[in-house]
Amino acid sequence: MVSTSSTTGGSVGAEDVYAGSSETSDGKVFTVTGQDWDSIAEGLGEAAEERIVVNMGPQHPSTHGVLRLILEMEGETVTEARCGIGYLHTGIEKNMEFRSWTQGVTFCTRMDYLSPFHNEAAYVLSVERLLDIEEDVPEKAQVMRVLLMELNRISSHLVAIATGGMEIGALTVMTMGFRERELVLDLFELITGLRMNHAFVRPGGVAQDLPPGALEEIRSFIALMKKRLPEYAAMCNANPIFKRRLEGVGHLDLEGCLALGMTGPVLRSTGYAWDLRKTQPYCGYEDYEFDVQTWDTADSYGRFRVRLGEMWESLRIVEQAADRLAGLEGAPVMVADKKIGWPSQLAIGSDGMGNSLDHIKHIMGESMEALIHHFKLVTEGFKVPAGQAYVPIEGPRGELGAHVVSDGGTRPFRVHFRDPSFTNLQATSVMSEGGQVADVIVAIASIDPVMGGVDR
């Protein structure tokens, strides 16, 4: 806390020879930290009498993680807003240079922790392009990827709507959102063994086949969500309090979105139907029937409606994927090339850990060469031809892509992700400046940033 005036201690302070008395309203009080003070003090000039600078975050429940917002305000009006990022930096991209190509999935799944399957898919698709095996990935593996990514899109949008509702006082929306998200995470645990950070999508396919009973659980979830999703519309769509809080807040038109590289629901809320699942299909998305959701208000309310509509479309895709998987019983989920395909026939041992004795017996009993190859594949990994590839996909927050560079070895030379949260945060100042400080929270919620993806 920096103040231009000393504080008074009341009648006692007047007697203190070490502390003179004065009224606290005589001077200006600013709340800043670190290196920002010099630039702020120089920039305020004569306006310093009327403006204050405050930090919102990085420990603030409405910043969607450890995001720091430096707000210059004149009364309740925000005159300048800046983002301070980097508090959640984990060195994921650098760490991936010291692991095999398959082990890299274990790192990148942890970036945007609300959409792990999209992180994995973007990276794996780029690796498969370098390996030139895009056409060799089994159909069942591609369908399972689509299924998991669309379930992941639903769970991510549920969190966006739930936390956004919580921040404006709609606590019922928050409890509903997390109630449904639990159902999706239960499906993830059934299929992959984990609720988050799955490392399930791997170069050449997926880690393992669907477990018994998975399709029945998926269909039960679809039926339940068709009953639950209308509750969000009934709670929010025409709610006058909800609409008044979101309409016209965080406005950013199409021209502004294109200038800043915005993608995802923020871009589609301007009416522009840009969705990579339609414009640049991957994983066989061209074979699914769904509509790109848009709105025409270019504000926070439009982004809410886009996400709500996208959950319905994702549910349509999940239903189609489940029908396809029913006809692929027993089909492979990993490429046939044993020099690339990580073993997908893994089975849990009787102690709940490791591999079952039957699987170990199969590997060791096949041949000595097979055992040696299995050992080298697991410990060293496969080599990827030298080159570079970038494959973008449509994540819940927009375009998510992985730029992967290989020098011909068993480890990536460089991996860099184009994370939509990082790019979309550029719009914070444009959406917030000139509005009320309370509307900053709504604008940030409508962007739906995840700081694990921003800082990496």
pLDDT above 90: residue 64:
no
pLDDT band at 47, cuts 50/70/90? low
pLDDT band at 32, cuts 50/70/90? low
Question: 3-state SS string over 255-324?
Answer: HHHHHHCCCCHHHHCCCCCCCHHHHCCCCCHHHCCCCCCCCCCCCHHHHHHHHHHHHHHHHHHHHHHHHH
Exposed/middle/buried for residue 180 (C-beta within 10 Å: 0-12, 13-18, 19+): buried
pLDDT reported for residue 144: 93
Largest CA distance in the chain: 93
Q: What is the mean pLDDT of residues 30-41?
A: 56
pLDDT above 80: residue 49:
no
Q: What is the per-residue pLDDT across 292-316, written as a single tens digit (0 to 9) for each? A: 999 988 888 999 989 999 999 999 9
pLDDT above 80: residue 350:
no
pLDDT band at 182, cuts 50/70/90? very high
Q: What is the mean pLDDT of residues 376-391?
A: 87
Q: What is the mean pLDDT of residues 148-177?
A: 89
pLDDT reported for residue 60: 73
pLDDT reported for residue 34: 53
pLDDT reported for residue 231: 85
pLDDT band at 11, cuts 50/70/90? very low
pLDDT band at 30, cuts 50/70/90? low
Strand partners, 54: 71
Q: What is the mean pLDDT of residues 97-103?
A: 89
Instruction: Name the residue with higher pLDDT: 330 or 123.
Output: 123
**The domain over range 92-341+382-455 is classified in CATH as 3.20.20.100:** no
Q: What is the per-residue pLDDT across 111-129, written as a single tens digit (0 to 9) for each? A: 888 999 999 999 999 999 9
pLDDT reported for residue 208: 85
pLDDT above 50: residue 1:
no
pLDDT above 90: residue 404:
yes
Considering 36-50, 85-99, 359-373, the range whose residues carry the highest mean pLDDT is: 85-99
pLDDT reported for residue 12: 43
pLDDT reported for residue 10: 43
Instruction: Name the residue with higher pLDDT: 375 or 265.
Output: 265
Mean pLDDT of the chain: 83
Lowest mean pLDDT among 247-256, 383-392, 408-417: 247-256
Domain edges within the chain:
2-84, 92-341+382-455
pLDDT reported for residue 165: 84
pLDDT band at 438, cuts 50/70/90? confident
pLDDT reported for residue 250: 85
pLDDT reported for residue 402: 92
Lowest mean pLDDT among 17-26, 207-216, 264-273: 17-26
pLDDT reported for residue 328: 86
pLDDT band at 13, cuts 50/70/90? very low
| % of the chain residues with pLDDT over 90 | 29
| % of the chain residues with pLDDT over 70 | 85
pLDDT reported for residue 33: 53
Q: What is the mean pLDDT of residues 210-235?
A: 89
pLDDT reported for residue 9: 41
pLDDT above 80: residue 397:
yes
